[in-house]
């Protein structure tokens, strides 16, 4: 079982510094700490974003999806005057894939050879992230965005924040999948 601290998580996801609700920003870090401790990974750099994109770290995907989502949201505000709750967006983005640490285990070949864990085979992707946001008393809208971010979800996002996260996530995922020469989200989700 690896060790991670709140301070380390804050550095991994610098967008958390812009969250106005400081208690929720800290809770988001605590969720990463707990989920990492509940996983089989020893080094936070090793969990993969996806089994079929072996070279992409989950922490990097999460940070980039958050950065892209913030950029899209800022444009929606600036250019169309839409209202976006940046706390909801940033917290949902930072937490959307935290479940992946428990959904995957390192394969026998070491880093880059992740395999589905027993829990990952049992639960729909996103469920565990939603479990943590509920456990840490996050607003229901954040839990719903986190759960609905997956193409496997029967519930689709119905808010600007949820849709921006959904597409920022799919975009980052398919950029990696097309580079890896593997199946795209567009084809399977």
Where on the phi/psi map is residue 112: left (φ > 0), alpha (ψ -120 to 50), or beta?
left
CB of 61 to Fe ion, least distance (A): 6
Stretch that binds Fe ion, among 5-13, 31-39, 112-120, 168-176 (CB under 5 A): 168-176
Q: Is residue 109 exposed (0-12), middle (13-18) or buried (19+ Cβ within 10 Å)?
A: exposed
Element (H, E) at 54: strand 53-57
| Residue (of 32, 29, 43, 48) closest to 1 by Cα position | 43
Size of the site for Fe ion (CB under 5 A): 2
Stretch that binds Fe ion, among 11-19, 39-47, 93-101, 155-163 (CB under 5 A): 93-101
Structure tokens at 5: 């601290």
Residue 169 touches Fe ion, criterion: CB under 5 A: yes
Q: How far apart are CA 156 and CA 154, in angstroms?
A: 6
Q: Which is nearer to Fe ion, 71 or 81 (CB)?
A: 71
| Residue (of 88, 81, 62) closest to 163 by Cα position | 88
Residue 105 touches Fe ion, criterion: CB under 5 A: no
Q: Which is nearer to Fe ion, 78 or 91 (CB)?
A: 91
Given candidates 48, 64, 68, 97, which one binds Fe ion under the rule CB under 5 A? Answer: 97
Stretch that binds Fe ion, among 14-22, 87-95, 108-116, 161-169 (CB under 5 A): 161-169
Residue 103 touches Fe ion, criterion: CB under 5 A: no
Q: Which is nearer to Fe ion, 105 or 169 (CB)?
A: 169
CB of 22 to Fe ion, least distance (A): 25
SS (H, E, C) 136-155: CCCCHHHHHHHHHCCCCCCC
Positions that interact with Fe ion (CB under 5 A) = 97, 169
């Amino acid at each position: 079982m690896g060790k991670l601290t709140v301070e380390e998580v804050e550095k991994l996801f610098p967008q958390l510094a812009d969250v106005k609700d400081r208690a929720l920003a800290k809770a988001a870090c605590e969720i990463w700490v707990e989920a990492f401790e509940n996983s089989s990974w020893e080094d936070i750099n090793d969990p993969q974003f996806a089994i079929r994109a072996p070279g992409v770290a989950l922490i990097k995907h999460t940070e980039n999806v958050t950065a892209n989502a913030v950029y899209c949201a800022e444009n929606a505000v600036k250019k169309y005057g839409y209202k976006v709750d940046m706390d909801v967006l940033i917290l949902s983005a930072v937490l959307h894939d935290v479940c992946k640490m428990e959904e995957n285990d390192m394969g026998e070949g070491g880093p880059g050879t992740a395999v589905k864990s027993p829990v990952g085979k049992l639960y729909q992707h996103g469920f565990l992230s939603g479990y943590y946001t509920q456990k840490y008393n996050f607003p229901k809208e954040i839990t719903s965005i986190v759960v609905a971010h997956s193409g496997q979800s029967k519930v689709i996002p119905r808010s600007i924040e949820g849709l921006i996260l959904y597409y920022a996530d799919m975009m980052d995922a398919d950029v990696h999948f097309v580079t890896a020469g593997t199946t795209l989200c567009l084809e399977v989700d």
